Structure 1
Amino acid sequence: MEKTQQQQPRRRSQLLFSLAVSLLLASAALFFPSPSSFTEPVDLSSLTFPPTLDNAHLPLFVEEQLRRPPPGAPPPPPGSTPKLAYVISGSGGDGESLKRVLRALYHPFNSYVLHLDLEAPAAERAALAAAVRADAVYARFRNVHVVVKANLVTYRGPSMVANTLHAAAILLRLATDWDWFINLSASDYPLVTQDDLLYVLSSYPRHLNFIDHTSNLGWKVYHRALPVIVDPGLHSSRKSEVHFVSERRNLPSAFKLFTGSAWMMLSREFMEFCVWGWDNLPRAALMYYANFVSSPEGYFHTVICNAEEFRNTTVNHDLHFISWDNPPKQHPHSLELADFPAMLASNAPFARKFAENASVLDRIDVELLDRRPEGFAYGSWWSDGGADGLRLHPPSPAASELSPGAGAARLKTLIDGLISSPRFHESHCL
């Protein structure tokens, strides 16, 4: 009797084991059918396996991965018309000049941000916004934007750099396909039509950055780099001059300083690098230049020349005709009729600075832009409809459909001379 009772647990264990084996074999039959059950042979060459540490060859540091160029959009087809992104800035009393500059610069392919800083009364800013809103051409193409929440900008302070970066961020958000960023003021004016400019730029690589720059700071070391300033535009609602601090500082050792013109034409890729790029250099340099005298003449220059990806993309010119004293003072001469021959001989597409409604602007309109008062500069995208008014034509993506004039020949002479120089590839960021 005791023996029978001892055998019962053993038999139950054997029965459970047999049942488990049967279930396992049944599962195997379901998930791993016999070779005869396959209707076609399996092509093992089509199978892919995740990379292992031995064959992935991934870089060790995250920066090495990020330095690889992103896939991005495909390069534009040869001969396609580039698109430009402009910021045109002004202060109190510049509203009318700003509207005139916009009229002379306008083209449907481009994008524009207009900014009147906080020194301009709210009524002047509202009038500018109303004029843009009421214009039938701007309304049709929807490519002119007015900054309503204005910034306070100090001419010699970093708030001017912050304002430029703000405009670039707006343009990167609103317009997804522009190629170059150009910063101008209400006292600038074009010397070529936009058809001239776009036609010429269509034949050059779109990674080029036109920025006047040098590492030879000279007198600027003592007067610009060593002093420490506070820009009231960063913390005050009223414009005033920068405040100098009694202490001075040494030159930075983390990066090399460069200086040059505050006016430039920069590639979209570089502006993305400055606004939301992965590298910390643009942010570190911005913090340094927060206490730098005339930081607009150094921030972008220092960033581009210390960034390995961009230092060999520079063309050392600001695309402006400017008349300076020798040695230069804080502000250039105001241009007049007597300066017209020199402007023309410079082959530059822009000039500054001009007083409001200076008589030389009328001559530029007539002789260089073929522009009537309150009208647009000559271009293939519109025609004079006579009694019917302005007739608009859809702008063509092909540069061959533009209508370049004498200004295109002058500008091409300038740029060809810059990039075909025997020392062009040796002179980047020196």
Structure 2
Amino acid sequence: MSRLCTARPGLLLCAVVCVSALLYFRQPAREGPGAEPPSPAVVECGFYPDELCSALFEGRGAASQVAKFCRNPLGSEILERLYAPGNCSQISQGLRFISRPLSAEEGNFSLAYIVTVHEELAMFVQLLRAIYVPQNVYCIHIDERAPKKCKSAVQTLVSCFENVFIASEREKGAHPGFVRLQADLSCMEDLIRSQFQWSYVINLCEQDFPIKTNKEIIHYIRSKWNGRNITPGAIQTAKPEPTTSPSRPESAPEGSVRASPNQRFQEEPPYNLTIYFGSAYYVLTRAFVQFVLTDTRAKDMLRWSKALQSPECHYWVTLNHVEDAPGATPNAGWEGNDVRATKWRGKEGDAHDGCAGRSDRDSCVYGPADLPRLVRSPSLFASKFESSAEPLVLACLERWHRRRVLQQAEVPVEPHWHFPRQTHFRVH
């Protein structure tokens, strides 16, 4: 937890700045160009105040300016708890993990998650505690190239939960490519062998975050996709347009990704399969996962995919169009593409209003000004976030998400499930 303003020479200045900043955030939003006053340049956040987060959710321009001066005390707290000696009760309660199913409906519908981790330990913990409930099961794939200290800390955390485990087979560099595909398949094998009877599997990476609760995710699956897989995509066309990005098609809807330049395949696809391209992310039924791991066509498709530039963007969507595959949607196109909110570069003014954070390759790292759009989005998850670049975005979103989770709970809420309410600032 961050400190109050303790430096005696700066105590008076700190008090003045704190009061003026809090009074500003509680005022109604001003209208008209240039109406926002400049933010106090000397202010740095302590434990992120609810007033500042609320101002960001309301789209206050000056709040985004204040946010630039914020560090990430949440990240520091997470690292301290995982690196310091302690028992599992201290770790799980100190990190505010949900410890019971929050409703009978959720307790009777278990999800499986595959989460890939590279080196952002604090972000991974924030993601895991946001999606964690004891009736779900979680396979964590840690990049073999991750720092030893990071891998050790993940192991410490995972050992405290019987429904969270590290993948038995780990790949090096589990980024887009065949290693990413193999990492997911390794986790799927572990999940099928586990004692947990889950219904659907969802894959995420450490830079993702949920913007719907576990209950809302279940409602979405049951109401729109009951018994079917979600793998949006389209038929791989013969030739790309000259302006097409190497990682996604310009004509595809927001959130889609492109598998590879559409050069002619060196070898014909096995079984004369029609090759599709689409998202590397999915929501798959347990029966479909068993099909992928055992069916001869799926195995031959995997071997054939090794030669492709981004096989993870071909593999799932192609197999989902095999008519006799469990949960297949042979006639689906980009349906289900709204599962993940992503701002793609080049889609400004069409699918979104521009990147308020910073561009990273083909997509946007969300900034504070993106928060109003995120909390109104119909998507289940959003990508992507960086705690080092924009720490306040994920901190505010996590607090908003936890409040929403607890508001929907149908069981008594444990005190340690709440994030502490702090409303102070301090001078840097």
Matched, 1:326 2:346: yes
- For the aligned residues, what is the CA RMSD? 3.5
Structure 1 distance, partners of 2:306, 2:122, is 31
Aligned counterparts, 1:272-311, within 5 A: 272-277=290-295, 280-309=296-325, 310-311=328-329
Which has the higher relative contact order, 1 or 2, with Cα contacts under 8 A spaced 6 or more apart?
2
Structure-1 residue corresponding to 2:215: 195
Tell me if structure 2 keeps the 8 A contact 1:81–1:199.
no
After the TM superposition, which of the residue ranges 338-347 and 348-357 deviates more from structure 2?
338-347
Structure-2 residue corresponding to 1:88: 115
Structure-1 residue corresponding to 2:276: 258
Structure 1 residue 161 displacement after superposition:
0.6
Tell me if structure 2 keeps the 8 A contact 1:106–1:377.
no
Structure 2 distance, partners of 1:208, 1:202, is 9
Tell me if structure 2 keeps the 8 A contact 1:117–1:153.
yes
After the TM superposition, which of the residue ranges 268-277 and 309-318 deviates more from structure 2?
309-318
Structure-1 residue corresponding to 2:409: 380
Tell me if structure 1 keeps the 8 A contact 2:367–2:393.
yes
Deviation sequence 1:22-79 (CA, Å, 0-9, x none): xxxxxxxxxxxxxxxxxxxxxxxxxxxxxxxxxxxxxxxxxxxxxxxxxxxxxxx999
Partner SS, residue 141 of structure 2: strand
Tell me if structure 1 keeps the 8 A contact 2:169–2:186.
no
Of the three residues 359, 374, 377, the one matched with 1:343 is 374
Tell me if structure 1 keeps the 8 A contact 2:115–2:205.
yes
Partner SS, residue 125 of structure 1: helix
Tell me if structure 2 keeps the 8 A contact 1:95–1:116.
no
Matched, 1:317 2:336: yes
- The one-letter amino acid paired with 1:311 is T
Aligned in 2, Cα 1:341/1:251: closer, same or farther, shift over 3 Å?
A: farther
After the TM superposition, which of the residue ranges 188-197 and 162-171 deviates more from structure 2?
188-197
Aligned counterparts, 1:58-97, within 5 A: 81-91=108-118, 93-97=119-123
Larger radius of gyration: 1
Tell me if structure 2 keeps the 8 A contact 1:87–1:183.
yes
Of the three residues 166, 179, 182, the one matched with 1:146 is 166
Structure-1 residue corresponding to 2:393: 360
Structure 1 residue runs of 5 or longer lacking an equivalent are 1-76, 226-243, 392-430
- Using the size of structure 2 for normalisation, the TM-score is 0.58
- The one-letter amino acid paired with 1:368 is H
Deviation sequence 1:204-241 (CA, Å, 0-9, x none): 5642111111114452899979xxxxxxxxxxxxxxxx
Tell me if structure 1 keeps the 8 A contact 2:116–2:174.
no
Structure 1 residue 162 displacement after superposition:
0.8
Aligned in 2, Cα 1:224/1:130: closer, same or farther, shift over 3 Å?
A: same
Partner SS, residue 305 of structure 1: coil
Structure 2 distance, partners of 1:381, 1:78, is 10
Structure 2 distance, partners of 1:220, 1:86, is 36
Structure 1 distance, partners of 2:233, 2:413, is 42
Tell me if structure 1 keeps the 8 A contact 2:137–2:164.
yes
- The one-letter amino acid paired with 1:219 is P
What is the identity percentage for the equivalent residue pairs of Structure 1 and Structure 2?
Answer: 20
The number of residues matched between the two structures is: 281
- The one-letter amino acid paired with 1:361 is L
